[in-house]
Amino acid sequence: MRIPLWQVDAFTDRVFAGNPAAVCPLEAWLPDATLLAIASENNLAETAFLVREGDGWAIRWFTPALEVDLCGHATLASAHVVFRHLEPGRSTVTFRSQSGPLAVARRDGGLLAMTFPRRPGRSAPVPDAVARAVGRAPEEALLSRDWMAVLRTEDEVRSLRPDLDAVATLPGHGIIVTAPATTPGIDFVSRYFAPQAGIPEDPVTGSAHCTLVPYWAARLGKARLEALQVSRRGGRLSLEDRADAVEIAGRTAEYLSGTIEV
- One DSSP character per residue, 111-175 reads -EEEEEE----EE----HHHHHHHTS--SEEEESSSEEEE-S-HHHHHH----HHHHHTSSSS-E
- 142 and 96, same structural domain? no
Range of the domain at 107: 2-116+249-261
Same domain, 155 and 231: yes
Is residue 103 domain-shared with residue 129, that is, in the same domain?
A: no
User: How many distinct structural domains can be found in the chain?
Assistant: 2
Question: Are 60 and 156 found together in one domain?
Answer: no
Provide the pLDDT for residue 108.
81
How many CA atoms lie less than 13 Å away from 26 in the CB half-sphere?
19
Backbone φ and ψ of 155, nearest 5°: -60, -40
Residue 103 and residue 132 in one domain: no
Handedness of CA 122, 177, 16, 45 (dihedral sign): negative
Low-confidence ranges of the chain (pLDDT < 70): none
pTM metric for this prediction: 0.93
**Residue among 132, 138, 129, 128 at smallest CA distance from 161:** 132
Clarify whether 226 is annotated catalytic. Answer: no
Percentages helix, strand, coil for the chain (3-state, rounded to 5) are 25, 40, 35
Same domain, 140 and 235: yes
26 and 133 belong to one structural domain: no
For position 40, what pLDDT does the model report? 96
Residue in 46, 154, 201, 247 annotated catalytic: 46
Same-domain pairing of 127 and 237: yes
User: Domain containing 15 — which CATH number?
Assistant: 3.10.310.10
User: Given this model, what pLDDT does residue 124 score?
Assistant: 85
Residues 143 and 210 in one domain: yes
* Pair 109, 131 in one domain: no
How high is the pLDDT of residue 116? 96
Identify the pLDDT of residue 89: 87
The enclosing H or E element of 179 equals strand 175-180
Tell me, yes or no, whether 140 and 76 share the same domain: no
| In a shared domain, residues 138 and 215 | yes
Task: List the one residue out of 124, 130, 126, 208 whose CA is nearest residue 166.
Answer: 130
| Distance (Å, whole) CA 255 – CA 257 | 7
DSSP per position, 76-88 = HHHHHHIIIII-T
